Amino acid sequence: MNETHATALLAAANEICRDIPTGYEIRLCMENGAAWVTLHNSDGDLIELPDAADKTLAEQLNDAVHAAILDDESLARAMDERDADGGPTGLTPI
């Protein structure tokens, strides 16, 4: 990897780390002939991402950041609703 690519990769990683919610992991997976992105929540569960066909790795990483933010916001809303109603919403408190 040349210095220009290494610098771009570091910049992308720093941007993602700034934006991704705490506890979520974005994984860049690579094998001979293929590369893809996965997203895992704070429990380690795989979160489904939009179809990655014909997407660049940058687009897949962007999708993963947005999916993590939406998942985190949905969980927070569900917990707030549970607390406001005084009862469970199907989620177990942490």
Please report the pLDDT score of residue 90 as a whole number.
53
Is residue 78 assigned to a domain?
A: yes
Is residue 92 assigned to a domain?
A: no
Least confident range from 17-26, 34-43, 71-80: namely: 71-80
Is residue 94 assigned to a domain?
A: no
β-bridge pairing 46-47 and 34-40: antiparallel
What is the three-class DSSP state of 30?
strand
Mean pLDDT, rounded, of the chain: 88
pLDDT over 50 at 20, yes or no? yes
In this structure, what token pair is assigned to residue 14? Answer: 């720093």
Summarize the confidence of residues 17-35 as an average pLDDT.
95
Residue range(s) defining the domain that contains residue 38: 3-85
What total number of domains does the chain contain? 1
In this structure, what token pair is assigned to residue 42? Answer: 């704070």
pLDDT over 50 at 72, yes or no? yes
For residue range 44-59, list pLDDT tens digits in order.
999 999 999 999 999 9
